[in-house]
Chains A and B, each alone.
Chain A
């Protein structure tokens, strides 16, 4: 498995990876981003199966942020890294085209998952004799107005439950197209993005949802987290060499504040879960404020929570931490590196898991669902990595597949460029 992990082996100019796991590629890919992305993808699978007992152990149970925030931040990081490098090498037009190509892939994946979802609703309605629910709850908008529902789904204005992250991702990547050049001016990027976030929250702007209200994840608010990730992932070119991605330097006071933010968030979540009566003791204004910590508009406290978590983890786990290259981390690194196929497969697997738990949610089924789910995710990551590996290794043709790698710089920039090639070319 570890031979297939990028960043573990030295990468030659031809794209062929040599054997062995020396630290040669260590300067290139930041495996921390991969491993945490992999864990976030696993948590998303778990959290997308309501009734899954393992759902009581994921991040959302102890922090005022969850795998979605982690996923979006790291998606921004990956996008800043990959498309930022493309921007520098091939210019804005090419990078924009690569982004749009990725958006197209995501869109098709979303529509496929939508079709799976409607099939699942129909199947479980029949299996559970739930047609009464369909009717009573108006859950069956698809059955009532199939043509309109299909149109609205194509317009991303109809997003059934649990199918709301991909549309968010699609819009975030679209927003990145005009913002790409600003990657070189991160201050301006964050100012523009933060200004938009404040405006959106103050005015309550959201993209429309056909069944009422707005999107469950408001992309116009969530873009701030995404662009923050992008700014952190973009490694600027200096004298033709690519330096390391910027990092917020360690400062004891900042660490204390971050820890405090996480502790308060943890307390709020725990009180809400186990001792909500205590809320009545708080001053009513403060208590009502706590009920208003929304996920839809990425409440500032949720935003601060994920940033604090990322800051502490980023400094607690050194870039070259040994365990990142170990056996235990390998499946997650692999999943994180093959983010798109693993994510889409995860949403699909969550459908199957929900059906299984709908039939029986006692512990043997829980164990089967969770073990099979994780195994399937890892397998998909393996297959995607293998395919990418073979494609790179055997046919590094510039006509199709990855563009030729830049000839500037030493081995370390080479490794970065290798990793930074827009993965849309293969991992879709």
Chain B
């Protein structure tokens, strides 16, 4: 374990040492949800070279609505976490998102960004609008297939992020269909998924973090914490994917 950690430190790609991460994680998550189950070779290579460019694209939630400020949104938190762990890494995180974007629309944003300045890693959060409005699952799948194909062909890694868990959403929209489709498409392309739905559901079920049961006065704190927990989960997942790309068992948080 120590040897592994030293090697990781030497390479300067450590996103967070395993032991420390476990203690700091403000939300306890099932380990299997933090596994990438797919390699992130481009990210590993870029990190080794000391220069990592991440593109985050999604709907409103990438901008951190309901948080105390832009710095509390999960992409910003992720950036801060990686910087804290790897100060030497030249990290650039670009976040693009707006309310109510469909998968085809976020796919177009990604295509545009890829053309101008290719990132090493795309974090693509999508599917919510489709589920909420009951749009065609097929169209979402097609847009994902096309988008992921483009990203992978360009030599960039991708991670999908699925829906936020919400009892309200579960009761009023046909979310499971979209969750399943998203998971399958990701698997087909060998792309990891940050299972936000399952993570948030676990946090809610274990009374760690429950957006829908938060008191009105606590809402801001809870939303900040949610974004922080998501960022940490994403960090753990990225470390696992990078470790897998290097052909070693990933450090399990």
Contact residues of A with B, CB < 8 Å?
A: 50-51, 120-121, 124-125, 128-130, 132-133, 136-139, 159-162, 164, 209, 211-214, 216, 272, 276-280, 282, 284, 287-288, 290-292, 294-297, 354-355, 357-358, 361
**A-B residue pairs in contact (CB < 8 Å), sample of 14:** A50-B171, A51-B171, A128-B167, A133-B169, A137-B169, A138-B100, A160-B172, A211-B133, A213-B136, A287-B188, A291-B145, A297-B138, A357-B167, A358-B171
Task: Decide: B185 and A291 in contact? CB cutoff 8 A.
Answer: yes
Binds A, one of B8-16, B47-55, B108-116, B175-183: B175-183
Supposing A276-B183, A277-B187, A296-B137 touch, asked if A51 and B170 sit within 8 A by C-beta, the answer is yes
Task: Decide: B135 and A212 in contact? CB cutoff 8 A.
Answer: yes
Task: Decide: B169 and A276 in contact? CB cutoff 8 A.
Answer: no
- In the complex, A294→B137 CA distance in Å? 8
Q: Which residues of B contact A214 (CB under 8 A)?
A: 136
Given contacts A51-B170, A277-B38, 9 further A-B contacts (CB under 8 A): A129-B214, A130-B212, A139-B132, A159-B134, A213-B135, A278-B187, A280-B187, A292-B138, A294-B141
Which residue of chain B is the closest to A292 with respect to CB atoms?
B141
Contact pick for B188, options A162, A290, A354, CB 8 Å: A290
Task: Decide: B168 and A133 in contact? CB cutoff 8 A.
Answer: yes
Indicate if B190 sits at the interface (CB-CB under 8 A).
Answer: yes
- In the complex, A212→B60 CA distance in Å? 19
Indicate if B99 sits at the interface (CB-CB under 8 A).
Answer: yes
Task: Decide: A124 and B134 in contact? CB cutoff 8 A.
Answer: no
Q: Which residues of B contact A290 (CB under 8 A)?
A: 184, 188
Task: Decide: B134 and A128 in contact? CB cutoff 8 A.
Answer: no
Give residues of chain B (102-157) contacting chain A, Cβ–Cβ below 8 Å.
128-129, 132-139, 141, 145
Q: Which residues of A contact B174 (CB under 8 A)?
A: 50, 161-162, 216
- In the complex, A121→B137 CA distance in Å? 22
Which residue of chain A is the closest to B168 with respect to CB atoms?
A130
Q: Which residues of A contact B134 (CB under 8 A)?
A: 159-161, 164, 209, 211-213, 216
Indicate if B66 sits at the interface (CB-CB under 8 A).
Answer: yes
Task: Decide: B188 and A279 in contact? CB cutoff 8 A.
Answer: yes
Contact pick for B99, options A136, A139, A297, A355, CB 8 Å: A136
Give the most central of B60, B66, B128, B171: most A CB within 10 Å.
Answer: B171
Task: Decide: A124 and B138 in contact? CB cutoff 8 A.
Answer: no
Q: Which residues of B contact A138 (CB under 8 A)?
A: 100, 129, 132-133
Task: Decide: A294 and B99 in contact? CB cutoff 8 A.
Answer: no
Contact pick for A277, options B37, B132, B137, B173, CB 8 Å: B37
- In the complex, A128→B175 CA distance in Å? 18
Task: Decide: B168 and A125 in contact? CB cutoff 8 A.
Answer: yes
Indicate if B166 sits at the interface (CB-CB under 8 A).
Answer: yes
Task: Decide: B184 and A295 in contact? CB cutoff 8 A.
Answer: no
CB of B171, distance to nearest CB on chain A (Å): 4
Q: Which residues of B contact A284 (CB under 8 A)?
A: 188-189
- In the complex, A139→B183 CA distance in Å? 23
CB of B220, distance to nearest CB on chain A (Å): 12
Task: Decide: B172 and A280 in contact? CB cutoff 8 A.
Answer: no
B170-211 near A? 1/0 per residue, CB < 8 Å = 111111110011011111111000000000000000000000
